[in-house]
Amino acid sequence: MIFKEQFLAIQAYFMYHIENTLMNEHRKEETMAFTNTRGRYASFGVVTSLPDDIIDSFWYIIDNFLKGVFELDELLRFELINHQGKLTFRFSEASLSTTVSFDFNDAFDPFFPREIFVTDNNGKETIMLPDEYALM
């Protein structure tokens, strides 16, 4: 598992060596999810079950480690995992065979929801619980 500081170094190396294939002028940024942010929101279920700093961590991960590295779908899935008492975010999406885990120093709480969805609906990005997403 990788902590924020270590991941920044890996990200810089990764971006330097493959940015030409991932960020060429032929790719259409405006058609990809999470590239045209008009607003960011958290659902009632998320706000009442996670602290503010944990909610902000989702945006931190998306902005610093996922955008420009992966072609993101409109629906991102995260699992919140207990890793030696600390919180790990595991990212996945249907179109990727890869999963990526992000270790944070925040304490894991067994009452945190196990799964979180982040959606992009024409620039309105929302963090929500799976049950809330099912109601859309």
What are the chain's domains?
60-136 (3.10.450.150)
| Average pLDDT of the residues of the chain | 83
Residue with tokens 């699992």: 79
Residue 11 has a pLDDT of 45
Residue 82 clears pLDDT 70, i.e. is over it = yes
pLDDT for residue 102 is more than 90: yes
Buried-exposed string 31-43: b where 16+ CB fall within 10 A, e elsewhere: ebbbeeeeebebb
Q: Report pLDDT for 9.
A: 43
pTM score: 0.75
DSSP E strand stretches across 1-136: 39-42, 75-83, 86-92, 100-107, 115-121, 124-128
Q: What is the mean pLDDT of residues 122-135?
A: 95
- Compare 136 and 123 and report the one with higher pLDDT: 123
| Phi and psi angles of residue 92, each rounded to the nearest 5 degrees, phi first | -155, 160
Question: What average pLDDT score do residues 5-24 get?
Answer: 43
Q: With 70 as the cut, is the pLDDT of residue 77 above it?
A: yes
pLDDT-derived band of residue 95, with 50, 70 and 90 as boundaries? confident
Instruction: Give residue-wise pLDDT tens across range 17-48.
Output: 344 444 444 444 456 789 888 999 999 999 99
